[in-house]
Amino acid sequence: MVQATFTRQKRELAKAASWIERLRAHEIRKISFDAEGKKLTETRETYVDYPPEEVARQVLGIVVEVVRQHGARQRANGKNTGRFVWRGIEADLTVPQLRALKEAHATLATLVQKLPRRNPKVVHNTTVDGRPAFAGKMEETFEQRVRYKPYEEDATTRVRTYEEHYREKVGASQQVEIDYGLEVRRIQKLEEMVTDLGTAIQVAIDEANGRGHEDDPVLSKVIDSISKVFDDVLPPRAPSSEGGAGAGPSGL
């Protein structure tokens, strides 16, 4: 395997930071309907390009790759190991390996800190693509119309017409606010996990003194397991659906 350079690892971590900056909590869609209530158009006033769990999994993927690259580069370095123990994951890791985990921990801590929380002040009254949302009041649109009605004059049999002005409903619009935030208890669980992970890494670094050397597959197994534990706590992956942004709120 070609050894990954430190510069490449920094570049990959910069990509992870870029993904984290894409985190958004809410998306607003404006939907218009015709007089019979059939949807005509749907436009987005604000965008959530990627759901927070997808951003999280992209960051996790980058973190896993960077740790693997770091392990390859440091394969021949360091003979002292410390016992890493975290949520059922255990391994004897060298100091360079533990430092790679420490860099990964810093990125994961930033991710968890910036994950959007569900807004408790919003009373959700519908769902959009399986996510809670608030659908505002339907705003009806009217146009002024003119029609001509016949009438007979009293003194003759001539039929005349007169203009009658009236308003006719031609459509409607509605604003929907979609909440992409994660539940507070899920955020708290992730915060607890990332704190415990940092403690476990530091304990293992302090313990790394004169223990046997382990090769790179151990580090890869550990970071894969860490990624899986975080992935299990995140919301499940959304099933791919046709139409994407065209999907409207259920129950409207």
pLDDT tens for 44-70 read 877 788 889 889 999 998 998 888 877
Residue 200 lies in a domain: yes
Residue 12 lies in a domain: yes
| Percentage of the residues of the chain whose pLDDT score is greater than 70 | 83
Residue 252 lies in a domain: no
Residue 206 lies in a domain: yes
Enclosing domain of residue 51 = 6-236
Measured CA to CA in angstroms, residue 181 lies from 84, 162, 228 at distances of 32, 59, 21
Gap between the Cα atoms of 94 and 80, Å rounded: 5
DSSP class per residue in 213-234: P--HHHHHHHHHHHHHHHHHHS
Residue 205 lies in a domain: yes
Q: What is the pLDDT of residues 19-36, one digit of tens each?
A: 898 888 888 889 898 888
Residue 1 lies in a domain: no
Query: Which pTM does this prediction carry?
Result: 0.56
Residue 248 lies in a domain: no
Number of domains in the chain: 1
Residue 151 lies in a domain: yes
- Which backbone phi and psi does 19 adopt, to 5 degrees? -65, -45
